[in-house]
A and B are shown apart, each in its own frame.
Chain A
Amino acid sequence: MAAVAQGTSLKSYLLTRLVLVVPMVLILLTFVFLLMRVAPGDPISAALGGHNVPQSVIDQIKHRLGFDKPLWQQYVEYLGNIFRGNFGTTITDQRPVSDIILTNGAATLELTFFAMIVALVVGVFVGLLAGRFRDTSVDVGGRMFGIVIYAMPVFFIGLMAQLLFGSVLGWLPTSGRASPITQATLQTHTNLFVIDSIYDRNWGALKDVMLHLILPAVTLGLVTAGVFIRLIRVNVIRTMKDDYIEAARARGIRERDVVYRHAFKNALVPVITVIGLSLALLLGGAVVTETTFNWPGIGHELVLYLENRDYSAVQGIVVVFGLVVVFVSLVIDFVNAFIDPRIRY
């Protein structure tokens, strides 16, 4: 996009970026629609799964869902509905997708938020050290840690953590968001259990919720940390070669200050971009984490609907995931533009 962004002010950069979201979202929506509609197989009979249902019932369901209209009309209605915030209704249990997002989305948000914190803390720490002490044993150890952590499937870390901390040591709960008692007594205002329990000053519930969060969040966070380690390490190495580092050294600034005050600060700016990029990884990982830990988030729901071959639910959830990614990457670009003027050119 060099043509539009050359030598522009912050305002026009942000505007162009904002305008570009429109085709991006359109392509995404069209892609999902085509995928779900053009793919072979009839969604209704798939959802009914071989049960002997009379044709009249099938036609009725088809009519209710609008599958009997011509394709272009379905497409226009689909776009219109999403524009109005209506992501459809599931076929199997006739639940609005927006309802799934509000209740189960909170669980996913809670999980991914804490996972991101774990990933940032571990990733930044190990990545900076590995880059700073390049080619020493610290670097080799840090990189091996990064590679092996990245090589571990989410469910493997999850299962091993469940075995160790759940079955063998018995320290932590391995399934669900809270114990049944907490779930029954906790007033839900936002569906974010951590916030709800703090709001009600229900410290017993808070402890219970946090204990349930530890294993899933650390599992998902560690996997994501692998990406951070790799990128931050390369960034530190690149920054250490920059002229201004040399200049700082030439001015007689102590090596420690050069590294910690000059190099690290600049090496960490791209982390914001990485957060955006790793979001896709995090959301994908969340689907597996939620399944492993029986965490009632969107991913967990998605897998259930996939098993029931519910096309509408799958379509709605996938669209929401896509929109979240587009929106977050927009925010990240905005933040980046404010922080680092170089990006605008």
Chain B
Amino acid sequence: MAIPVQPIESPFRRRARGLGRAVGPIREARGFPRLMLYIGAGITLLFVLLALLAPVISPYDFDQYQSGGHRFPQLASPSSGHWMGTTVQSTDVMSRVIWGAQTELKVVFISLVFAITVGVPLGLLSGYFGGKLDRGLVLVMDALYAFPYLLLAIVIAFLLSNSIGKGVLTAAIAISATYVPLYFRVVRNQVIALREESYVEAARALGAKPLTIIRKYVFHNVVQNVPPIATLNAADAILLLTALGFLGYGIQPTDAAEWGYDSSRAVSDAASGIWWTALFPGIAIVLLVTGLTLVGEGLNETMNPVLRRRRVQRVNFDQEPEPPIVEAVEGS
């Protein structure tokens, strides 16, 4: 086959093509992984909308306990006035669930940004340069990784709450600290494998500076692994945030509505058979975490070569007959 002369591409188009390649596996996904991706994305999108439109959708404010001068009933069961009932403080459960979506997504987004901006560069440098720096960092990160992560988050939130108070930032830092080792590990291991690839070798032979090599050749190949991990991580982070809230180390209840905190207030209600204060925030958590997990698992399945199954290749018999590939399962 003759090699077609390629027109010189603009950097923009080259980047767009690279993006297309990255999205390729998603478009190729079939069967259950595709279903997981779509359902997960749908659920996640729903919560994003809830979070963005909270001021419009929510019937009341998250800490509103009265309307037009008269106080809402305490612990009222679901009714037409309060679809999900009210809490012991007379707040509307539904409003708290809707506003809670905003809090959860905000904290999780900030914490992931923190964790990635610290973990990925550390992993890149440690993996590429190796040596003492690498050994030291690995040891520290392994020690952190082995630690029960909820405990780590509690301790950090506890210490920070003394100085900067219980806010979005405290919760986000506490959560991100537990995820830095994860990104570090994944990135570092990948970089070590990539370091010996011939194209990296070639760049080095041409005299490229280490930072240039990392930026131009290594980074792009490593960064592909981040989205599936980050989505699964986001799911995990929501569980972590709600656990912190449940134990009283999340966000100050006067600042924002948070599902974990609401659940902790529901413990005493559950003993007397009151179900609506526990059920609705809980369902919200389960749905959002499931949605994010489905997206993450779907991405993982479509991008991880060991698990990936490609769809049946279409073979055009009008041209040269090639043996049809029925099901190419990659990897060993």
Contacts and interface: CB of A to CB of B under 8 A. Distances in A.
A283 interface: yes
A325 B148 contact: yes
Contacts of A153: 239, 242-243, 246, 260, 263, 282, 285-286
B159 A41 contact: yes
Contacts, number: 160
Given A28-B143, A153-B242, 10 more contacts: A28-B147, A32-B155, A35-B159, A153-B243, A153-B246, A166-B271, A284-B243, A314-B158, A318-B151, A325-B147
B255 interface: no
Contact of B286 (A156, A283, A292): A156
Contacts of A31: 140, 143-144
A287 B151 contact: yes
Interface in B233-264: 235, 239, 242-243, 246-249, 260, 263-264
25 contacts: A27-B139, A27-B140, A28-B147, A40-B163, A41-B163, A135-B31, A135-B32, A139-B32, A151-B289, A151-B290, A152-B282, A152-B289, A153-B246, A153-B286, A155-B243, A159-B270, A162-B270, A167-B270, A283-B148, A284-B150, A288-B247, A302-B151, A314-B155, A321-B148, A325-B148
Contacts of A163: 270, 273, 275, 278
Interface string B140-166: 101110111111001110111011000
Interface in B2-54: 31-32
A42 B198 CA distance: 55
B76 interface: no
B329 interface: yes
Given A150-B293, A153-B239, A237-B307, A287 B154 contact: yes
Contacts of A280: 146-149
A163 B282 CA distance: 13
Contact of B249 (A140, A306, A318): A306
B316 interface: no
Nearest to A306: B158
Contacts of B290: 147-148, 151
Nearest to A152: B286
A324 to B, nearest CB: 9
Interface string B221-234: 00000000000000
A29 to B, nearest CB: 10
Q: Max chain B CB contacts within 10 Å: which of A31, A147, A321?
A: A147
A28 B152 CA distance: 11
Q: Max chain B CB contacts within 10 Å: which of A167, A168, A234?
A: A167
Interface residues of A, number: 60
Contacts of A27: 139-140, 143
A14 to B, nearest CB: 18
A159 B143 contact: no
For the residues of B in contact with A, the DSSP-based class is helix
Contacts of B264: 155
For the residues of A in contact with B, the DSSP-based class is helix
B312 interface: no
B160 to A, nearest CB: 8
Interface of B: 31-32, 139-140, 142-144, 146-151, 154-156, 158-160, 162-163, 235, 239, 242-243, 246-249, 260, 263-264, 266-267, 270-273, 275, 278-279, 282, 285-286, 289-290, 293-294, 297, 306-307, 329, 331-332
A36 interface: yes
Contacts of A139: 32
Contact of A147 (B148, B297, B306): B297
B293 A151 contact: yes
Interface string A272-316: 000000011101110110011000000000110011010000100
Interface in A121-161: 135, 139-140, 143, 147-148, 150-156, 159-160
Contacts of B32: 135, 139-140, 143
A192 interface: no
B103 to A, nearest CB: 15
Given A28-B147, A36-B159, A280-B149, A241 B247 contact: no
Nearest to A32: B155
Contacts of A143: 32, 297
A321 B275 contact: no
